[in-house]
């Protein structure tokens, strides 16, 4: 009780501090308008994060974040095929445990709790990064880690235009355009994209008798979106307004066993959203204030109609809408107190409102989050970051969630750093878990997780050569894991049933070498993950110690890029280990491991760049999700025009 | 090479079964025991077939996949034994597979239906297939697996039972239908025409015939508990209700079964309950308590007094089949597939 009172007093003081900081803005604001960030960036930072390199991002710019993560990161993507749902498993956790942030705002849908990465174009973000361990402490839910998508302003670049076009197998088309203007004070950028595919690839259906070559039916998709950014460097700080609007229409193909079902099936999902935010960041010599405000309108529509096998009449119809309005407000203050001591405080208010015809009534959730973090250094080579967060959900405190991070950068071993991290976090049930009708369970408790990380990093940067290496190990315990289970009432309900233990290690290496007109870049990832259900009930089902479904123990990828004068060659390799689709130890439905190889050849002609991409080079027949068909070898031609 | 492996597996199944002590000539092949049809998870296509051998007390899982190297399909709903063949009805895949009961080798299929639920064999040349979404039932030839015709009854069809020349069909589902789902329709199996119907309670889900030739219908009362669930006894000759036993409003009873003497009924209402056909009240105390289990189906041994119960509480994991004495004492349990459902004895 005494401890709680102390923490409450601390949080009240924090609020006062924030208010005071705001009131002091006018008096300590710098007049130098060209300063766009504070000196705090020079403080030692945790190594529990990684930004994707520009070469990888550039190479995969016309694709989606699902493809980026699959081929350039340790994150495993469970994909239902091109254009289909793609969710992430980060460090042995499931889709709902990977937090996705766009400029600090959560993209995880409040009704589902997860993100479909196939709907996020890489093209819309300048910076994409991963973070884990103590770096996930600022928000709830990122047990596995955080995928951060950020937009970056540039000034004094004048006008620039970039147009990109792709054309590929299965009538796939993609058009991308960027128009940008910036001077010393303003940066305006507009981006458009559109991609579509008939997606009717041929595959061998091994799930029917006799095994037959078929064309994937009902799998076409169409996506369109635009983003408008305004960055204005005022004399008080940076003012940013960004609007991301997108329309996604996709049909949903049947699974391989159901290709001979009678009647006609019309099944599709339409999604549209408008994500908008405004931010203002005044800075001063040793600190900054960040004010952010966002409004997201998410609209989802699912439609399923089947007709009789003996007539044209409709015999089943599902026409469901799931709409959400989300407001986020963030106030964050960062201040360097002493030379080696920084302090950060953040208050965030999230309001989520879901209108669904799968709920009995409109449901909403209010979350107020208080977060404080200190960074300080001991001696020259030991750096600490500690934080604590308290979330209040609909008036009920969820407890205090601390994190601690220690980084040791020995002066006698230049380039090396050792990091240890521990964090407690929680994830509230999704609104579907709570209110879906029928089955939603309002008695659900939040999932609670504890994670420990250790990593060794090495960085070396020379004029013609650089290398980054990361070796990390992790342990995560998640309690109250929410799982939907069948009941005697013919529908399923979610229950807090499992204790899950995820552990493993990962390796990332990237290296660059330049020699005359040759430039080599290689990036490789490997992750070993063991995730098991430790609930006593799992012993009853003989699934104790079995790997959880759709989490491969082994996942690896490699990317090689070679530039020679105006020529370019790249090779991408991905390995996905076998995956359980059931937790049985002797399961017959284990998906075998597969290797995929992709190559591309490119040539630049002044402002024009061309490229031929060959995906699934060795025509591999594989399944990423049980009995969901995947395309074999396919081709894509890319051309771009960039005028600066 | 794989084909040789599957063939060898089938041969091993046959010979291992033949080496057992079989008193009954009909049991040549896979042996004495029972098949378990594991429904699997909707849209996961992980349905499977298991067989429990009562001599070795061992269960063999994933039989269909092991022998035929293809998945059974998406939501295996029911299974019928006829003339040394097994008919496996795969609901969400829209087909029926016919396999040899001794080897489980695939023989033929009938695809192209919308949502087949159960198959009732009437003769060598005629079988009825009920359908969850169609407003009637399909007539097929079970020998050739050819489609004959669709018979429109105005309601979707579920559970079927042959009494003489008449087929009693429950109208269980009301999904996307205007007609009420509170009837048992009677079809003349010679003409395939509906000749009558009896109004019962909403969602009649299962039927049995007792030793006195009376029809018992168990009704769960509706998806949202619109009506009081009831167990109803019907005179199939006069097609009138003899007695009706009401459950508590919050109950959801299902899976009515009867013992080999035809004088004792069993059903699942979370727990397992039993009563005699003469009782005028429903039992208050269960015969077997479910505890943490979710009893999904029940079957009565055709020769002994053994009850077999399927536990459907697994989602992504295999679940259990339990054997009990008729007094509720547990004999043993074995792990079958995901969502074990229909149990068919091989005697």
Q: What is the DSSP string of A420-438?
A: EEEEEEEEPPPHHHHH-TT
Q: Token pair of B63, please? A: 């039989």
Question: Can you give the pLDDT at residue A490?
Answer: 64
Output phi, psi for A133, to 5 deg.
60, -140
Residue A643 banded pLDDT, cuts 50, 70, 90: confident
Task: Check pLDDT > 70 for residue A175.
Answer: yes
What digits encode the pLDDT tens for the residues B67-116? 999 999 999 999 999 999 999 999 999 999 999 999 999 999 999 999 99
Q: What percent of chain A has pLDDT over 70?
A: 90
Q: Which residues of B touch A538 (CB under 8 A)?
A: 317
- Chain B interface includes A362 (CB < 8 A): no
Q: Which domain holds residue A514?
A: 2-643
**Candidates B71, B92, B109; nearest CB to A207:** B71
Q: Model confidence over A528-560: pLDDT tens digits?
A: 999 998 877 666 666 677 888 899 999 999 999
Pairing of strands A492-515, A76-79: unpaired
Dump pLDDT digits (tens) for B158-182. 999 999 999 999 999 988 788 899 9
Selection from A15, A37, A2 nearest residue A392 by Cα: A15
What would the mean pLDDT of A149-167 be, rounded to a whole number?
96
Residue A173: pLDDT over 80 = yes
Note the pLDDT of residue B28: 53
Output the six-digit token pair for A254.
Answer: 């049947």
In this structure, what CATH number is given to the domain that contains residue A88? 2.40.170.20
- Contact B210/A at CB under 8 A: no
A461 inside 8 A of chain B by CB: no
Of B224 and A353, the structure prediction assigns the larger pLDDT to A353
Q: Please check whether residue A408 is in contact with residue A119, taking contact to mean a CB–CB distance below 8 angstroms.
A: no
- The answer, for B222 touching chain A at a CB cutoff of 8 Å, is no
Tell which wins on pLDDT, A22 or A617: A617
> pLDDT tens digits for A564-578?
999 999 999 999 999
Task: Work out the percent of chain B whose per-residue pLDDT is above 90.
Answer: 81
For B66, B133, B137, the CA distances from B92, given in Å and listed in that order, are 21, 11, 16
pLDDT in tens, B250-284: 899 999 999 999 999 999 999 999 999 999 999 99
How many structural domains does chain A have? 1
User: Across residues A261-274, what is the average pLDDT?
Assistant: 96
Residue pLDDT, tens place only, A196-229: 999 999 999 999 999 999 999 999 999 999 999 9
- Per-residue model confidence (pLDDT) at position A543: 66
Average pLDDT, integer, range A463-472: 95
Tell whether A627 is within 8 A of chain B (Cβ).
yes
**Which among A262, A537, A540 is the nearest to B94, CB-wise?**
A262
**Nearest Cα to B328, choosing from B291, B279, B277?**
B291
| CB contact residues (below 8 A), chain A span 488-507, against chain B | 488-490, 492
- Summary mean pLDDT of chain B: 90
- Model pLDDT for residues A41-79, shown as the tens digit of each residue: 444 445 688 999 999 999 999 999 999 999 999 999 999
A315: nearest CA partner in chain B:
B133
Q: Which residues of chain B are within 8 Å of residue A588 when distances are taken between CB atoms?
A: 48, 61-62, 65-66
**Mean pLDDT on A426-450:** 94
Whether A30 has a pLDDT exceeding 50, the answer reads no
Q: What is the pLDDT of residue A541?
A: 62
Alpha-carbon distance B115 to nearest alpha carbon in chain A (angstroms): 8
Using a pLDDT cut of 70, give the percent of chain B over it: 91
Q: Would you call B94 an interface residue with chain A, using a CB distance cutoff of 8 Å?
A: yes
Residue A156 touches partner B, C-beta closer than 8 Å: no
* Per-residue pLDDT at B311 exceeds 70: yes
Distance in angstroms (rounded) separating the CA atoms of residues A446 and A141: 10
A582 at interface of B, judged by CB pairs closer than 8 A = yes
Whose CA is closest to B324, among B257, B254, B248? B257
Q: What is the pLDDT of residue A103?
A: 96
Is there a contact between B317 and A627 if contact means CB atoms under 8 Å apart? no
Phi, psi for B25 (deg, rounded to 5) = -60, -30
Mutate to test the interface with A, among B42, B148, B297, B317 (most CBs of A within 10 A): B317
Q: What is the mean pLDDT of residues A441-460?
A: 95
- Strand, helix or coil for residue A536: helix
Q: What is the pLDDT of residue A135?
A: 86
CB contact under 8 A, A314 and B176: yes
User: Looking at the DSSP assignment, which residues form a beta bridge with residue A273?
Assistant: A246, A298
User: What average pLDDT is seen over chain A?
Assistant: 90
Task: Please report the pLDDT score of residue A587 as a whole number.
Answer: 62
Q: Is A212 on the interface with B (CB under 8 A)?
A: no
Q: Stretch A127-143: mean pLDDT, rounded? A: 92
In the prediction, which pLDDT does A529 show?
96
For the stretch A385-413, pLDDT in tens is: 999 999 999 999 999 999 999 999 998 99
Choose from A486, A580, A581 for mutation: most chain B CBs within 10 A: A486
Name the DSSP class of A59: H
Q: Give the integer Cα–Cα distance in Å for B75 and B46.
A: 8
Res A29: pLDDT: 38
Contacts of B296 in chain A (CB under 8 A): 486
How many angstroms separate the CA of residue A453 from the nearest CA in chain B? 29
Q: Which residue of B has its CA nearest to A487?
A: B294
- The alpha-carbon gap from A548 to the nearest alpha carbon of chain B, in Å, equals 9
Judged by a CB distance cut-off of 8 A, whether residue B48 touches chain A is yes
Q: What tokens does A145 get?
A: 């880690």
pLDDT at residue B178, as a whole number: 81
Whether residues B45 and A489 touch (CB distance < 8 A) is answered with no
Yes or no, beta carbons of B94 and A207 under 8 Å apart? no
The radius of gyration computed from the CA coordinates of chain A, to the nearest angstrom, equals 25
- The whole-number pLDDT of residue A34 equals 45
- Quick check: A8 pLDDT over 80? no
**Across the A/B interface, how many CB contacts are shorter than 8 Å?**
137
Q: Is A318 near chain B, with CB under 8 Å?
A: no
Kindly state whether A316 is in contact with chain B, defined as any CB-CB distance less than 8 angstroms.
yes
Q: Does A255 touch chain B (CB under 8 A)?
A: yes
Residues A321-348 pLDDT 10s: 999 999 999 999 999 998 889 999 999 9
**φ, ψ for residue B180, nearest 5 deg:** -65, 145
Min mean pLDDT across A170-179, A562-571, B118-127, B298-307 is at B298-307
**In the 3-class helix/strand/coil scheme, how is A172-239 assigned residue by residue?**
EEEEEEEEEEECCCEEEEEEEEEEEECCCCEEEECCCCCCEEEECCCCCEEEEEEEEEEEEECCCCEE
Give the per-residue pLDDT at B174. Answer: 83
* CA–CA gap between residue A366 and residue A3 (Å, rounded): 25
What part of A 525-544 touches B (C-beta under 8 Å)? 537-538, 540-543
This complex has an ipTM of 0.88
DSSP 8-state class, residue A549 = T
Q: How far apart are CA A414 and CA A381, in angstroms?
A: 11
CB atoms B94 and A258 under 8 Å: yes
By Cβ distance, the residue of A258, A486, A541 closest to B294 is A486
Q: How close, in Å, is residue B24 to chain A by CA atoms?
A: 32
Assign B315 a pLDDT band (cuts: 50, 70, 90): low
Q: What is the pLDDT of residues A72-111, one digit of tens each?
A: 999 999 999 999 999 998 999 989 999 999 999 999 999 9
d(CA A334, CA A43): 12
Choose the mutation target among B99, B133, B152 for the interface with A, i.e. most A CBs under 10 Å.
B133
Among A523, A614, A513, A611, residue whose Cα is nearest residue A567? A611
Question: Residues 19..38 of B with a Cβ closer than 8 Å to A: which?
Answer: none
Q: What is the mean pLDDT of residues B236-242?
A: 96
> Is A208's Cβ below 8 Å from some Cβ in B?
yes
Instruction: Give Rg (Cα) of chain B.
Output: 20
Tell which of B93, B173, B247, B293 to mutate to test the A interface (max A CBs under 10 Å): B93
User: For A476-502, how does the pLDDT look when each residue is reduced to its tens digit (9 = 90+)?
Assistant: 999 999 988 877 666 788 988 778 999
Residue B19: per-residue pLDDT: 38
């Amino acid at each position: 009780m005494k401890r709680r009172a102390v923490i409450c007093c601390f949080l009240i003081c924090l609020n006062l501090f924030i208010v005071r900081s705001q009131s002091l803005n006018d008096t300590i604001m710098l007049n130098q308008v060209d300063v766009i960030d504070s000196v705090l960036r020079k403080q030692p930072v945790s190594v529990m994060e990684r930004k994707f390199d520009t070469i990888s991002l550039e190479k995969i710019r016309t694709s989606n974040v699902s493809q980026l993560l699959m081929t350039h990161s340790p994150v495993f993507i469970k994909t239902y095929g091109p254009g289909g749902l793609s969710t992430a498993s980060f460090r042995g956790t499931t889709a709902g445990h990977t937090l996705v942030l766009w400029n600090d705002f959560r993209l995880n849908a409040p009704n589902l709790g997860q993100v479909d990465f196939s709907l996020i174009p890489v093209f819309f973000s300048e910076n994409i990064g991963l973070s884990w361990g103590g770096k996930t402490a600022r928000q709830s839910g990122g047990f596995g880690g955080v995928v951060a998508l950020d937009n970056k302003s540039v000034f004094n670049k004048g006008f620039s235009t970039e147009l990109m076009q792709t054309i590929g197998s299965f009538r796939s088309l993609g058009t991308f355009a960027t128009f940008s203007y910036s001077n010393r004070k303003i940066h305006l950028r507009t981006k458009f994209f559109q991609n579509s595919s008939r997606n009717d690839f041929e595959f061998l259906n091994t799930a029917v008798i006799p095994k037959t070559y078929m064309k994937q039916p009902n799998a076409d998709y169409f996506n369109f979106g635009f983003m408008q950014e305004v960055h204005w460097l005022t004399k008080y700080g940076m003012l940013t307004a960004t609007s991301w609007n997108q329309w996604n229409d996709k049909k949903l193909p049947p699974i391989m066993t159901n290709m001979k079902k009678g009647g006609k099936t019309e099944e599709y999902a339409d999604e549209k959203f408008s994500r908008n935010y405004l931010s203002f960041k005044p800075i001063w010599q040793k600190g900054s204030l960040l004010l952010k405000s966002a409004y997201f309108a998410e609209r989802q529509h699912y439609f399923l109609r089947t007709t009789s096998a003996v007539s044209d009449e409709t015999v089943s119809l599902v026409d469901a809408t799931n709409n959400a309005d989300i407001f986020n407000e963030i106030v964050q203050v960062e201040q360097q107190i002493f030379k080696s001591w920084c302090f950060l405080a953040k208050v965030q208010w999230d309001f989520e409102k879901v209108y669904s015809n799968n709920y009995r009534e409109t449901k909403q959730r209010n979350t107020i989050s208080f977060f404080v973090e200190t960074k300080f250094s001991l001696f020259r080579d030991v750096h600490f970051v500690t934080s604590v967060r308290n979330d209040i959900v609909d008036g009920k405190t969820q407890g205090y969630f601390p994190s601690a991070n220690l980084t040791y950068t020995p002066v006698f071993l230049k380039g090396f750093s050792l990091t240890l991290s521990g964090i407690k976090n929680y994830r509230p049930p999704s609104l579907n878990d709570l209110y879906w009708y029928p089955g939603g369970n309002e008695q659900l408790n939040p999932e609670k997780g504890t994670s420990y990380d250790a990593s060794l990093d090495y960085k070396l940067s020379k004029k013609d050569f650089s290398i980054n290496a990361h070796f990390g190990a992790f342990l995560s315990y998640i309690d109250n894991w929410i799982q939907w289970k069948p009941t005697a009432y013919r529908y399923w309900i979610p229950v807090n049933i499992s204790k899950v233990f995820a552990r493993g290690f990962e390796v990332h290496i990237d290296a660059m070498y330049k020699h005359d007109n040759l430039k080599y870049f290689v990036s490789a990832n490997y992750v070993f993950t063991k995730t098991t259900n430790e609930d006593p009930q799992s012993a009853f089902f003989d699934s104790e110690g079995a790997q959880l479904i759709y989490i491969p123990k082994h996942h690896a990828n490699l990317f090689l890029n070679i530039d020679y004068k105006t020529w370019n060659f790249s090779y991408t390799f991905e390995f996905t280990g076998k995956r359980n689709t059931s937790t049985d130890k002797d399961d017959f439905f284990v998906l075998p491991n597969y290797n995929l190889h992709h190559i591309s050849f490119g040539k630049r002609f002044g402002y024009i760049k061309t490229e031929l991409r060959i995906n699934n080079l060795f025509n591999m027949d594989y399944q990423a999700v049980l009995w969901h068909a995947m395309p074999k070898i396919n081709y894509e031609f890319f051309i771009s025009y960039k005028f600066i | 090479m794989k084909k040789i492996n599957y063939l060898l597996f089938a041969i091993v199944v046959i010979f291992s079964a033949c080496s057992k002590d079989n008193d009954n000539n009909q049991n040549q092949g896979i042996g004495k025991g029972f098949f378990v049809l594991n429904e699997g998870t909707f849209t996961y296509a992980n349905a499977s077939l298991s067989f429990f051998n009562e001599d070795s007390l061992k269960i063999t899982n994933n039989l269909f996949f092991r022998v035929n190297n293809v998945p059974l399909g998406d939501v295996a709903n029911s299974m019928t034994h006829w003339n040394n063949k097994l008919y496996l009805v795969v609901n969400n895949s829209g087909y029926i597979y016919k396999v040899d009961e001794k080897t489980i080798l695939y023989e033929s299929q009938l695809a192209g239906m919308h949502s087949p639920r159960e198959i009732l064999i009437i003769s060598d040349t005629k079988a009825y297939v009920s359908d969850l979404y169609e407003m009637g039932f399909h007539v097929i030839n079970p020998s050739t697996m050819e489609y004959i015709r669709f018979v429109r009854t105005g309601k979707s069809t579920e559970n079927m039972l042959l009494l003489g020349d008449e087929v009693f069909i429950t109208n269980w589902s009301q999904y996307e239908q205007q007609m009420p789902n509170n009837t048992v329709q009677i079809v003349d199996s010679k003409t395939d025409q509906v000749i009558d119907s009896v109004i019962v309670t909403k969602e009649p889900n299962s039927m049995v015939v007792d030793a006195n030739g009376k029809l018992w219908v168990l009704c769960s009362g509706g998806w949202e508990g619109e009506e009081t669930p009831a167990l109803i006894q019907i005179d199939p000759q006069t097609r009138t209700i003899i007695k009706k036993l009401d459950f508590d409003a919050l109950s959801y009873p299902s899976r009515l079964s009867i013992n080999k003497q035809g004088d004792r009924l069993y059903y699942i209402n979370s727990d397992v309950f039993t009563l005699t056909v003469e009782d005028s009240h429903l039992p208050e105390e269960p015969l077997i308590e479910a505890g943490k289990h979710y009893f999904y189906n029940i079957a009565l041994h055709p020769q002994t007094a053994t009850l077999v119960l399927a536990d459907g509480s697994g989602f992504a994991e295999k679940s259990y089949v339990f054997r009990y004495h008729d007094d509720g004492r547990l004999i043993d349990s074995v792990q079958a597939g995901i969502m074990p459902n229909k149990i068919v004895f091989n005697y």
